Amino acid sequence: MKKTIYLAINFYGVKRAILFLMLFAGTYVLQAQDIHFSQVYLSPLSLSPMQTGNFEGNWRFSNNYRSQWSSVAIPYTTISAGFDAQWYYHNEHLAWGIYILNDKSGHVFLDVTKIYLSFAWHKTVNLHNFHLGLQGGYVHKGYDLSRATFPSQFDMSTGAFNSSLNNGEISINDVTGYPDLNFAAGWSRRFGRVEPEIALSLFH
């Protein structure tokens, strides 16, 4: 008996898979660390811009304070505050918010201050919830250079560092700042008492 085997190939799916592999083949490994909180759900505007207005209610205020490494001479302290509210324009669910964060760390008082404005759009289609968020702001960083010591400031006569000596460094900038932009998109859907959420956030 002669058997005929039909092989069907989904060329559209193959093209998407090839494109996906090409995109990841050209990426680089990046390593960085940003200020974060252990209880991320209590800091929604720092977690993702799409969380702006993503709650039940009219407005929301959040505040966090953290103190780490209290056993050392100068502990690391972080404080943040955020406010966001919802409004509707022509049946479109929109939201805005403001987020402020300050972090101090180390012996030289490394200071980081961030101020952001957040905007988000939320849409429900056939029980599927779609979210888009955009966050823009300014980041200021600085430290107290007078509290730092350098090898050239070691006084051989006393066997200790002398901060009044020339540090030997040229063009040290102890203050810097730059604009910042963050973006996020996500999806969620309620299944009974459970509402899973999938999101992608891009932070500068």
Please report where in the chains the tokens 């200020």 appear, as a residue: 35
Tokens linked to 48: 């993702």
pLDDT digits (tens, 9 = 90+) for 25-73: 555 555 555 676 777 778 899 999 999 999 989 999 999 998 887 777 7
Judge whether residue 3 has pLDDT over 80. no
Residue 17 is given by DSSP the state H
pLDDT at position 171: 66
12: left (phi over 0), alpha (psi -120 to 50) or beta: alpha
Q: Which residue has the higher pLDDT, 182 or 155?
A: 182
109: left (phi over 0), alpha (psi -120 to 50) or beta: left
Please report where in the chains the tokens 């505050």 appear, as a residue: 81
The distance from CA 59 to its chain's CA centroid, rounded to whole angstroms, is 22
pLDDT at position 7: 41
Residue 153 is given by DSSP the state G
Q: How open is the CA angle 84-78-75, to the nearest 5 degrees?
A: 170
Judge whether residue 23 has pLDDT over 50. yes
The residue type at 191:
F
Determine contact, residues 139/113, Cβ cutoff 8 Å.
Answer: yes
Residues 94-99: contacts with CB under 8 Å, at least 24 apart: 94/53, 94/119, 94/120, 94/121, 94/122, 95/52, 95/53, 95/54, 95/119, 95/120, 95/121, 95/122, 96/52, 96/53, 96/120, 97/45, 97/52, 97/53, 99/45, 99/46, 99/135, 99/137
pLDDT at position 75: 82
Q: How open is the CA angle 193-197-200, to the nearest 5 degrees?
A: 175
Determine contact, residues 109/144, Cβ cutoff 8 Å.
Answer: yes
**Residue 11 banded pLDDT, cuts 50, 70, 90:** very low
What is the average per-residue pLDDT within 126-135? 95
Between the ranges 62-71, 156-165, 179-188, where is the mean pLDDT highest?
179-188
